[in-house]
Amino acid sequence: MGSKTFAEALNDGLREEMQKHEEVFVAGEEVGLSGGIYGVTKGLQEEFGVGRVKDMPISESAIVGLAVGAAAAGLRPVIEIMYQDFMAVCMDQIVNQAAKMTYMSGGKICLPLVIRTQCGIGKHQAAQHSQSLEAWFAHIPGLKVVMPSNPSDAKNLLRAAIHDNNPVIFIEHKMLYPQKGLVTEETVEIGKAAVVKEGSDVTIVSYSWMIEKAMKAAEKLEEKNIQCEIIDLRTIKPYDEEAVLSSVEKTGRLLIVHEAVKTGGFGSNVAADVAEKAFYSLRKPIRRITALDTPVPFSPVMEEFYTPNVESIISVVKELTV
């Protein structure tokens, strides 16, 4: 497939699935004529028409409500909520309708629904446009949560999400859209992690944009003869507990890195599972590096201070390996 940006890979995935399956359609704010604020849906309305690429009014509740009804009727909507922060506006439709309908119908209704959204810092968009809220959705039975870290996974996981018969929250970090990488055609299973770097001294578990920071930290730590094993969860609901436990049993040390705040963050779930099931493999206490428990600051300097960075990862890994 060659090298593609994260945004281009998502665009390719959407186009290919829409070409193959007439029941797949796209809807959201500015997804049609303008191609989305980060260009993910660029050109799709021109190719498939306004009937399958729908520009919606500024009403997140209406967008999700449309998708829930369409999915229940047999279509496969891929909708976009422009910023993850705005999903607070449509939580009833997501949590009480989309996530519950299959269960409450006794399996008679399935909801093959993908909700694309973007998260995270990096563009200095302050407290209402920069949050990482993936733990909200991981907490809800009936939802799957996907957070790719590279173009290839972005495309292949999006295709897997479109074919899944459950509602999938597909979260894209805004800083990944311009990132380039080799895109391969492969089947990527929702709930299967990837060991993106092998090592023997410490396990680093992360996902989304934080994988890039973990990799940069690991490269610098190799100069100190510290070998990090990095696990990219790729999906956090369900997440690959077996891959994490296997790595911790090998290294005896665990560092969890995510951009979401610490309190109630998904890293707490990973830490608890390891403490319950691999406690006697640990040589040092489990560590977490997360955002601070404050709203996201606007200031670029403070934004960098607020979240995990390469230096903070290096510092904690050194503490773990002393």
Rg from Cα positions in the chain:
19
From residue 17, how far is each of 20, 48, 76, 160 by CA, in Å? 5, 12, 10, 10
For 53, residues 6+ apart whose C-beta sits below 8 A from its C-beta are 25, 26, 27, 31, 32, 41, 44, 45
**Catalytic, out of 124, 129, 173, 258:** 129
Question: Shortest CA distance to 292 belongs to which of 265, 320, 313?
Answer: 265
Residue 201 exposed, middle or buried by CB count within 10 Å (0-12, 13-18, 19+): middle
- The total of other beta-carbon atoms located within 10 Å of residue 85's CB is 20
Cβ-contact 291, 261 below 8 angstroms: yes
Tokens of 154: 């972005």
Q: What's the CA gap between 236 and 148, in Å, rounded?
A: 10
Active-site annotation holds for 129: yes
Q: What are the catalytic residues?
A: 129
